[in-house]
Chains A and B, each alone.
Chain A
Amino acid sequence: MQVDTASGGAAGGHGREGRAWALGALGSFLLLLIVSELFCRTLLGTGALYGLVDASGTLTSVAEVKARARAFAGRQAVGLLGDSVAGVTALVQHRVPRARQRSLTAELDRRLTPRGVLPLSADGLLLPDVEGLLETLEAPPRDVILLLNFRMFARSWETEASAGSRDGLLPVAMAGPREAPSAAAAKGRLDARLYESAAGASSLFLVTQVLRARLFVPTRKDAIERGLARLLPAAEDDDLAASVLRLRIAPIYEDRDWNPASPAFSSLGRILARRRSAGRTLVALVPQNPSETAAIAPERLQSNRDLLKRTVVNALGADSAWIDLSDAMPQDAFLDHCHLTGEGNARLAGTLAAAFVQPGRAAP
């Protein structure tokens, strides 16, 4: 009898300790969750997050796009729309020192002080993405610089299914019935929807994803390579990597007429129509490496550039500010086919800032 009572008492003691442990764990977890959520909400609401973290070249979710626009609204920052040319990814991948201070976004931000730049560019962004992005903003920036890249008009993006890079930014005009997705695509869309819901519901989750993008680990392979690069002497690019790059960029510099009926041009028309009644809009065709454009017949290259100019000028009207910089940089200003070195970005930012501030001086 005595033994039973003792073991029962010991079991009761363990049970009480277990409950106290669980209560303590749950309490501290919830407390930290609430405090962190409030802290992250303040970071986003005041815009302090983007003073601490450079977010150029990445957009992690629609919720973040909205939060970022709200954060920059107070100082009427100039919206910078475009693809990886504006961001820091290529500089980081090419291990340029102080890459984050030398991106086009950073250079332009300094030149447009005190208003600065609202970074709305992202790697691989296409024109339907830009259109969708502008639609998601409750209060789009009054003034905008839109960077156009040859890549946006490539044949690869001419079908409705391939015209946008991110389902979350699908514009209204392209949101009609689509083909039934494959099982893998359906799962991908469900994952993306869950991710978007989490970003919309929790500021803490949203901030962790901004930090995740800031660490720039698009793939585990890249993270390992960058880690090894710090330890090992720089190796020459191998032939395989060079061949893969050539295959990837070949469609961008294909010798063909751009298609004015493509989703890219349709989207550009709608973007510019929205901007016509808004504030100042500077549209720029960004520099291309002359070693790549040499593959295009000169008269075809010129007719494509003229088509783009007509599209912009006709859509924006007399107030349009169009600047074609596609042949403005020498070969040594490039890291690759279209991404500029730090010095190249500084020169491009100077030209864009001058054209934006004094649109009359923009090169035709």
Chain B
Amino acid sequence: MSRAFRRGLLAGAAIFLAVVLVLILSGDLSSSGFIYVDF
């Protein structure tokens, strides 16, 4: 397994983690049209 491939593995994992964190943490929940803020 080359060094470049290992670095690629790490980069792919980091990108995946970043996508999941963005999905959990970003944006305004009301934009989903489902979470109702004004209660």
Contact residues of A with B, CB < 8 Å?
Answer: 16-18, 20-30, 32-33, 36, 58-61, 83-84, 89-90, 122-125, 165-168, 188-189, 191-192, 195-196, 204-205, 208-209, 211-213, 215, 217-220, 248
Name the prevailing secondary structure of the A interface residues: helix
Total interface residues in chain B, CB < 8 Å? 29
Name the prevailing secondary structure of the B interface residues: helix
A-B CB contacts (within 8 Å), total count: 122
What is the CA–CA distance of A191 and B31 in the complex, to the nearest angstrom? 8
What is the CA–CA distance of A25 and B16 in the complex, to the nearest angstrom? 10
CB atoms of A60 and B34 under 8 A apart: yes
Given known A18-B4, A208-B20, A215-B24, contact A61–B34 (CB-CB < 8 A): yes
CB atoms of A24 and B11 under 8 A apart: yes
17 CB < 8 A contacts A-B: A20-B2, A21-B5, A27-B8, A28-B9, A28-B11, A29-B15, A29-B16, A36-B16, A58-B35, A124-B38, A167-B33, A168-B34, A189-B33, A208-B20, A213-B29, A218-B30, A220-B28
B13 to chain A: which residues have CB within 8 Å? Answer: 28-29, 32
**In residues 4-30 of chain B, which contact A (Cβ within 8 Å)?**
4-13, 15-16, 20, 23-25, 28-30
10 further A-B pairs in the complex, CB-CB below 8 A; given A24-B6, A27-B9, A188-B33: A20-B4, A24-B9, A24-B11, A26-B8, A32-B16, A58-B35, A122-B36, A166-B34, A166-B36, A192-B32
